[in-house]
Amino acid sequence: MFYIKRLYRFILKSFLPLFLMTFFICLFIVLMQFLWRYVDEMVGKGLEMSVLAELFFYAAVTMVPMALPLAILLASLMTFGNLGERLELLAIKAAGISLLQIMRPLVIFLIFVAIGAFFFQNNVLPKSQVKMWTLLYSMRQKSPELDIPEGVFYDQISGYNLYVKQKDHKTGMLYDVMIYDMSAGFDNAMIILADSGKLKMTDDKEHLFLTLYNGESFENLRDQRTSTSRNIPYRRETFSLKEIMIAFDANFNRMDDGIMQNQYIGKDLAALQSSIDSMTQRVDSIGNNYANSLKSSGYFSLYDRPGMRVSERDSIREQKAVAEAGSLNLDSLFAGDNLQRKQLYLDRAVARAERYKSDYEFRSYTMSDENKVIRRHQIEMYKKFTLSFACIIFFFIGAPLGAIIRKGGLGMPVVVSVFMFIFYYIIDNSGYKLARDGRWEVWEGMWLSSAVLLPLGIFLTYKAVKDSAVFNPDVYINFFRKLVGRQELRKVVLKEVIIEDMYPRVAIEKAHQLSESCRKFLDKIGRKRQSYWKYCLYGYDKSAIVELGDQINAMVDYVSNSHSQLVVSKLMDYPILRNLWVYRPAPSVKWGYVLAVLFPVGLLLYWVGSYQQRLLRNEVEGVIHTNDELCVLLEKEEADRIEEEKIYKI
């Protein structure tokens, strides 16, 4: 019997509701982006709600590849952030269960999601894209809904410009109408002026019926002009009633899906691979024909005769070239003619070269278009795999981030997810454009985002498993301090609960001992800079530095049990002694001689090491000064303690 562990059921129950919620939220957001982008194609055309609903449905299905990775990232980040914020993740780890074991059920679930995403990309998405783009192009072809404004020219009727000064919205009457009829061409334009008129649609919605009252019209009759006459005839008409029928198709005519199915967006993996193979073979064949044509064409065609076959022409060329190679000298022939003949030769050569150039440039454009279509097919093919891989990568980014940040809800997770997805989208879009334009190989551009985010997911997962302080600013501050040679800052806080009390007299004795050790260390290493040879051969004794650092840490640990805030604050003045390798770069005297001989390298190292040694001497002297100030505070604390004991006895 198949049984799921209680922990795994708990993790799945925590993740699945958040995943469904974030998926539909992300899908709604990207769908609104689609609506804002194509709102001009839909507004003002009188489309039925069923057509708009169908378009939104297919658009939502098409936007799933963009919403799914973002939903996985946000849901995994929120899930593990909630577990960390409620200390449930800490309790699970305390039971001996690692983070990878906690993530195991979600990894298995998302593997099935990735497999489903591949089949969705291969089988469902092409059909939905065909339906969506077919509807969208059909909407673009539909004429806008007829609504003639007041006081401006209306040009949405093909071949006509209408101007209406005033309109009665109740009766539909138009007043002070001006019409420019250019349906027969600009040269045969007709201008119509009328006091009033009325416009309505025919029952089949394919024509407009315009009734005009009390006006006149002026029409050019340029087509009826005779060949001998320079005057252009025209016709002027005054009317009390005039009726005009205008072709205006207001119906929604859906395009055939077969047009889009032949494009790359309407093909599955097998169809894409078949199209790529056939187009590649055709392009290679055309390229070989162009290459052979270029090889067989001579620069000057000295031996060509009209009607000669290629094989015959090539044979005669070869024979004549061999026979006349020693006797024919083009340079001498060119130099022997007069200037007029030379100019003629040069003009003919330049014209022939330009003709060849334009011919092969046109052929290169044809090849470039063919290669662009191949690349678009290859991009669509790689997209079917990159989505599935992106789902896995985003989980291994979101889950460790949630475990590290330990913040649930829709605050911090949403901010982190948005920035991470924007970063992914920029990289993915850049790789897509580089692949589309042929600047990179298609597989390089399409896998660029995955190649960038995969190391990030591995790094975050490793840090989360090791419970590393990835977002602790002190870690990075201390790292850069070490990098530039700056000293780390010691942090000591007043303890709320003290198990072992600190006795001021004992602490004062420890401070005196520490000061004595510091003076001995300074006497041993000397108060001045070491010479170049002494630095390379001996340097500073690292074991003595480590021993002195341990004594300082022991002193701080003991005095940190004090009840006085002043004493605890003073402990932060103690430096953290670093055991840098530049204190003694050579491990032995023999290696010291080798370093000293390498004068340019040794001199640079000596300059850096001398600077660090000077900082070390200043730190040790600072320890002595801090001990003196601490003893004053400890003596005051001891006096206060004795005074309190006297008062308590009284």
- Whether the per-residue pLDDT at 229 is higher than 60: the answer is no
Q: Are 496 and 536 found together in one domain?
A: yes
Strands (DSSP E) along 172-279, which ranges?
Answer: 173-181, 190-201, 207-220, 234-247
| Distance in angstroms (rounded) separating the CA atoms of residues 252 and 135 | 10
Query: Residues 502, 556: contact at Cβ < 8 Å?
Result: no
- In this structure, is residue 578 part of a structural domain? yes
- In this structure, is residue 256 part of a structural domain? no
Q: Are 273 and 158 found together in one domain?
A: no
Q: Tokens 């577990």 label which residue?
A: 83
- Whether the per-residue pLDDT at 68 is higher than 50: the answer is yes
- Whether the per-residue pLDDT at 64 is higher than 80: the answer is yes
- Whether the per-residue pLDDT at 195 is higher than 70: the answer is yes
Instruction: Give the pLDDT mean for 172-182.
Output: 83
| Distance in angstroms (rounded) separating the CA atoms of residues 408 and 86 | 9
- Whether the per-residue pLDDT at 296 is higher than 70: the answer is no
| Distance in angstroms (rounded) separating the CA atoms of residues 284 and 130 | 30
- In this structure, is residue 471 part of a structural domain? no
Q: Are 642 and 536 found together in one domain?
A: yes
| pLDDT tens-digit readout, 508-517 | 898 899 999 9
Q: Are 559 and 446 found together in one domain?
A: no
Phi-psi region of 96 (alpha: psi -120 to 50; beta: other; left: phi over 0): left
Q: Which residues pair with 192 in a beta bridge?
A: 179, 217
At residue 22, φ and ψ (nearest 5 deg) are -65, -30
- Whether the per-residue pLDDT at 585 is higher than 70: the answer is yes
AA letter at 158: S
Query: Residues 435, 445: contact at Cβ < 8 Å?
Result: yes
Alpha helix (H) ranges present in 407-503? 412-436, 442-446, 448-465, 473-483
| Distance in angstroms (rounded) separating the CA atoms of residues 636 and 504 | 9
Q: Are 220 and 271 found together in one domain?
A: no
Q: Are 488 and 623 found together in one domain?
A: yes
* Least confident interval from 5-9, 363-367, 379-383: 363-367
Expressed in angstroms, the distance from the first to the final Cα of the chain is 79
- In this structure, is residue 252 part of a structural domain? no
Q: Are 531 and 573 found together in one domain?
A: yes
- Whether the per-residue pLDDT at 177 is higher than 70: the answer is yes
Query: Residues 433, 455: contact at Cβ < 8 Å?
Result: no
AA letter at 143: S
Q: Are 491 and 616 found together in one domain?
A: yes
- Whether the per-residue pLDDT at 43 is higher than 60: the answer is yes
- In this structure, is residue 1 part of a structural domain? no
* Comparison of pLDDT for 476 and 178, the residue scoring more: 178
| pLDDT tens-digit readout, 487-504 | 667 888 888 778 788 888
- Whether the per-residue pLDDT at 38 is higher than 60: the answer is yes
Query: Residues 252, 51: contact at Cβ < 8 Å?
Result: yes
Cβ neighbours for 94, distance < 8 A, ≥ 6 positions apart: none
Q: Which tokens is 168 given?
A: 């009665």
Domain coverage including residue 423: 6-141+382-465
Q: Is 177 helix (H, G, I), strand (E, B) or coil?
A: strand
Q: Are 125 and 228 found together in one domain?
A: no
Instruction: Give the pLDDT mean for 239-260.
Output: 69
Instruction: Give the pLDDT mean for 211-222.
Output: 79
Last residue of a domain, one of 465, 492, 523: 465
Query: Residues 134, 259: contact at Cβ < 8 Å?
Result: yes
Last residue of a domain, one of 375, 399, 422: 375
Nearest Cα to Cα of residue 463 among 515, 528, 404, 511: 404
DSSP 449: H
Instruction: Give the pLDDT mean for 221-245.
Output: 68
What is the pLDDT, as a whole number, of residue 568? Answer: 86
At CB < 8 A and 24+ separation, what contacts does 624-629 make? Answer: 624/515, 624/518, 624/519, 626/570, 626/573, 626/574, 627/511, 627/512, 627/514, 627/515, 627/518, 628/515, 629/570, 629/573
Instruction: Give the pLDDT mean for 182-200.
Output: 78
What is the pLDDT, as a whole number, of residue 70? Answer: 87
- As a whole number of angstroms, the longest Cα–Cα distance in the chain is 140
Q: Which tokens is 609 given?
A: 């090491």
**Residue 381: its H or E element:** helix 339-405
Give this prediction's pTM: 0.59
Q: Are 189 and 71 found together in one domain?
A: no
* Least confident interval from 66-75, 196-205, 224-233, 540-549: 224-233
- In this structure, is residue 255 part of a structural domain? no
What is the pLDDT, as a whole number, of residue 113? Answer: 92
| Distance in angstroms (rounded) separating the CA atoms of residues 213 and 218 | 15
What is the pLDDT, as a whole number, of residue 300? Answer: 44
The pLDDT confidence band at residue 49, using thresholds 50, 70 and 90, is confident
Q: How many domains is the chain built from?
A: 4
Instruction: Give the pLDDT mean for 97-114.
Output: 89
Q: What is the separation of C-alpha 225 from the centre of its chain, rounded to a whole number of angstroms?
A: 64
- In this structure, is residue 328 part of a structural domain? yes
* Least confident interval from 50-54, 494-498, 600-604: 600-604
The pLDDT confidence band at residue 223, using thresholds 50, 70 and 90, is low
* Least confident interval from 212-226, 497-511, 611-625: 212-226
Instruction: Give the pLDDT mean for 372-382.
Output: 87
Q: Which residues pair with 208 in a beta bridge?
A: 201, 246
AA letter at 166: Q
Q: What is the separation of C-alpha 252 from the centre of its chain, rounded to a whole number of angstroms?
A: 38
Q: Is 199 exposed, middle or buried (0-12, 13-18, 19+ CB in 10 A)?
A: buried
What is the pLDDT, as a whole number, of residue 111? Answer: 92
Q: Are 180 and 299 found together in one domain?
A: no
Instruction: Give the pLDDT mean for 524-532.
Output: 83
* Comparison of pLDDT for 303 and 281, the residue scoring more: 281
pLDDT above 70 covers a percentage of the chain that reads 79
Cβ neighbours for 456, distance < 8 A, ≥ 6 positions apart: 397
- Whether the per-residue pLDDT at 558 is higher than 50: the answer is yes
pLDDT above 90 covers a percentage of the chain that reads 3
Q: What is the CA radius of gyration of the chain?
A: 43
| pLDDT tens-digit readout, 624-647 | 999 898 888 888 887 877 777 777
The pLDDT confidence band at residue 481, using thresholds 50, 70 and 90, is low
Last residue of a domain, one of 465, 498, 527: 465
Q: Which tokens is 53 given?
A: 């609903």
pLDDT, averaged across the chain: 79
| pLDDT tens-digit readout, 419-468 | 888 888 888 889 888 888 888 888 888 899 889 889 888 888 888 888 76
Q: Which tokens is 443 given?
A: 């597989």
Cβ neighbours for 266, distance < 8 A, ≥ 6 positions apart: 126, 127, 129, 130, 260
Cβ neighbours for 129, distance < 8 A, ≥ 6 positions apart: 58, 62, 260, 265, 266
Q: Are 428 and 549 found together in one domain?
A: no
- In this structure, is residue 257 part of a structural domain? no
Q: Between 448-465 and 99-119, two packed helices, what is the crossing angle to 10 degrees?
A: 160
Nearest Cα to Cα of residue 389 among 428, 442, 447: 447
Query: Residues 76, 402: contact at Cβ < 8 Å?
Result: yes
What is the pLDDT, as a whole number, of residue 298? Answer: 55
**Residue 622: its H or E element:** helix 599-649
